[in-house]
Amino acid sequence: MTFFGLHFQDIVFYTLAIILLFAALSVITTRNPVYAALYLVLAFFTAAGIWLLLEAEFLAIVLVLVYVGAVMVLFLFVVMMLDINLDKLREGFWNALPIALPVGGLMAVEMVMIVGVRNFGTDKVLAPAAHLADYSNTAELGRVLYTDYLLAFELASVILLVAIVAAIALTLRDRKESKSIDPAMQVSVKKSDRIRILKMDAVVEKNTEILSDVTTNAKESK
């Protein structure tokens, strides 16, 4: 099926690509951080659609469930709960612009040289071959990941583990005003540490003695 000389899949791809570029540019150009996060959600959805065109269903559903369903929801909560002073963030923009422009231009030139027709042309990257009905994209991805790229996968996992431990160590502080609970102290506590029973002699107040005398005199008079 063709429309205007293009296949239906090509039309879907170009439509998703245009939406993805628009969402990506809006993320970095919009002033409201909440709108930027919502544009990023749109970018993730369109990227998942492109993954579906490449017959990578597992990557598409992971992109939607993990990034849109978990990470971006967390970003939205953080951005909406924090009182971000946007004027203060823009104070050093013009001072950093002379350095940011050459660095950004150099990165753009490198991306054009890498992601160009020479390396990613139609003759270099072919359309994915059609698979059988019982083909499992998840099983094939797992097979390639744990065989051909096992070393890279293990190295990436070690690096992420070190980053997690470092982040926890940097943010872990012993604050005096913190109402933290030590489980070891809770387990070792005894009844005598919680309740103290004191034996005291009864003390009768003077008003009670006067009241009892008045009551006695009233009974005798009767």
Could you read off the pLDDT of 155-192 as tens digits, one per residue? 999 999 999 998 888 877 666 666 777 777 777 877 77
Cα gap 42→38, rounded to integer Å? 6
Residue 14 pLDDT greater than 80, yes or no: yes
Report DSSP letters for 99-147, one per residue. HHHHHHHHHHHHHHHHSSHHHHSTTTSPPPPP--TT--HHHHHHHHHTT
The model scores a pTM over 0.85? no
Helix/strand/coil for 61: helix
Q: What pLDDT is attached to residue 19?
A: 94
- What percent of the chain lies above the pLDDT cut of 70? 73
Q: Read off the pLDDT of each residue in 120-124 and give the average, rounded to a whole number.
A: 63
CATH says 1-91 is which class? Answer: mainly alpha
Q: 146: which 2 tokens?
A: 């744990």
Residue 208 pLDDT greater than 60, yes or no: no
Q: What is the dihedral of CA 110, 111, 113, 117, to 10 degrees?
A: 180
Q: Read off the pLDDT of each residue in 92-117 and give the average, rounded to a whole number.
A: 82
Residue 210 pLDDT greater than 60, yes or no: no
